[in-house]
Amino acid sequence: MRHLIDPLDFTLEETERLLILADKIAQDPAAYQEVARHKKLATLFYEPSTRTRLSFEAAMLNLGGSVLGFSSADASSAAKGESVADTIRVISCYADIAAMRHPKEGAPLRAAHYSRIPVINAGDGGHQHPTQTLTDLLTIRRRKGRLGGLTIGLCGDLKFGRTVHSLIMSLARCKGIRFVLISPEELRVPDYIITETLRPNGIPYEEIRSLERAMPSLDILYMTRVQRERFFNEEDYIRLKDSYILTAEKMKLAKPDMAVLHPLPRVNEIALNVDSDPRAAYFEQAQNGVYVRMALIMTLLGLEK
């Protein structure tokens, strides 16, 4: 039985297979509307995350399955002090597959150790969020037709953004990838990403401060938010915040087929006048998130054949 706890739990080949299936689903969703009939997805959300929970539920309903679950720890037996290990053993009797969101890092892994059904990590604290990474990969693949041979720009908070770290580690497995890491000094990518992933694999990367300077070379621009609370002093924040806001003006410097991604929700890091640019792919991501979760549920339940 397979689980998805870490974005790297699937090999590159397995990830590619899943993305191909997600792409097929996107092209003909009606062909898949009965494949999970009589199957149940349990959404175990120990903290609220409406967007992710609804995306999982939409995915299961689109496959003809049904959903049950809870959307906050107060509404679950965790409020009575039940352990994750006990909860998943009970849920294994009720459902065929589970998606777990938990504020504590590693909770879905703990659940997987005791589960009799596949467990999907739907976000564990600030640790991993593998279905967001799969969503990002599907969006890149659908826009560019491939994952390899691309120059990927990641911009903003590269230090604390877990989606950034997971995306780098996943794409680092593809041939011909080059990274441009665009951030203020305070929010540089953590050293371990460089020393354990980029350098040992000989992956070319560049760390720069200017988004404008990076724009012309990028095939993909992955935007994240620079948050005020990440800075030690207000002055630095005010000085730097506008440098990492994407505007229609800056988009003029980009390739005509570049794609802009963002894990959403955005606040002000992408100006509203970018939304109408055909290169803006961030709202497609939400749709792709449903397709990739449909493909994941099918794969983990062995329904893809």
Partner 1 sequence: MLNIDSIQNGLVIDHIKAGAGMRIYQLAGLDRLDCCVAIIRNARSNKYGHKDIIKIESVIDLDLAVLGYLDPNVTIDVIQNGEIVEKKQLDRPKQLVNIIRCRNPRCITSVEEEIDHIFNLSANGRYRCAYCEEEERHNPEGKKH
Of 50-89, binders to partner 1 (CB under 8 A) are 83-85
196 binds partner 1 (CB under 8 A): yes
**Alpha-carbon span 263 to 136, nearest angstrom:** 8
Please pick, among 15, 39, 43, 52, the residue that the annotation labels catalytic. Answer: 52
For residue 276 the two structure tokens come to 């109408």
53 is catalytic: no
> CA-CA distance, 153 to 137, in Å (whole number)?
14
Among 12, 77, 89, 106, binds partner 1 (CB under 8 A): 106
**Contact by Cβ (8 Å): 220, 258:** yes
Q: Shortest approach of partner 1 to residue 112 CB, angstroms?
A: 11
**Three-state DSSP class for 244?**
helix
Shortest Cβ 81–partner 1 spacing (Å): 9
Contact indicator for 288, 135 with CB cutoff of 8 Å: yes
Shortest Å, Cβ 83 to partner 1: 5
DSSP letter string, 220-240: EEEE----GGGSSSHHHHHHH
Residue 52 annotated as catalytic? yes
Rounded Cα distance, 244 and 121, in Å = 30
Judged by CB under 8 A, which stretch of 48-56, 99-107, 261-269, 273-281 contacts partner 1?
99-107
Identity of the residue, 103 or 149, whose beta carbon is nearer to partner 1 in the bound complex: 103
Residue with tokens 């792919």, as numbered in its chain: 281
Of the pair 63, 78, the CB lying nearest partner 1 is at 78
The nearest distance, CB 103 to partner 1, in angstroms, is 8
Token pair for 66: 């049904």
Note the residue count of the chain.
305
Q: Which of 80, 175, 252, 305 is catalytic?
A: 80
Total residues at interface with partner 1 (CB under 8 A): 19
Using CA of residue 19, residue 24, residue 29, residue 31, what is the dihedral sign?
Answer: negative
Nearer to partner 1, 158 or 220 (CB): 158
The yes-or-no answer on residue 51 being catalytic is yes
- 126 interacts with partner 1 by CB under 8 A: yes
- Is the Cβ of residue 45 or residue 291 nearer to partner 1 in the bound state? 45
State which of residues 3, 110, 262, 293 lies at the interface with partner 1 (CB under 8 A).
110
Which one among 192, 235, 256, 265 touches partner 1, defined by CB under 8 A?
192
Among candidate residues 53, 110, 129, 141, the one labeled active-site is 129
User: Shortest distance, CB of residue 73 to partner 1, whole angstroms?
Assistant: 11
Contact positions with partner 1 (CB under 8 A) in 267-286: none
Contact (CB, 8 A) for 100 and 121: yes
Nearest to 143, CA basis, from 18, 27, 15, 281: 281
Of 26 and 164, the one with the shorter C-beta distance to partner 1 is 164
129 is catalytic: yes
- Is 80 considered catalytic here? yes
Q: Binding of partner 1 at residue 200 (CB under 8 A)? A: yes
Which CA distances in Å does 4 have to 36, 213, 219, 268, 270? 18, 37, 28, 32, 31
* Residue 102 engages partner 1 in binding (rule: CB under 8 A): yes
Please state, in angstroms and rounded to a whole number, the distance separating the CA atoms of residues 32 and 305: 12
149, two tokens: 């041979």
Q: Alpha helices of 243-281 — where are they, by DSSP H?
A: 248-251
What is the set of active-site residues?
A: 51-52, 80, 101, 129
Chain contacts with partner 1 (rule: CB under 8 A): 83-85, 102-107, 109-110, 124-127, 192, 195-196, 200
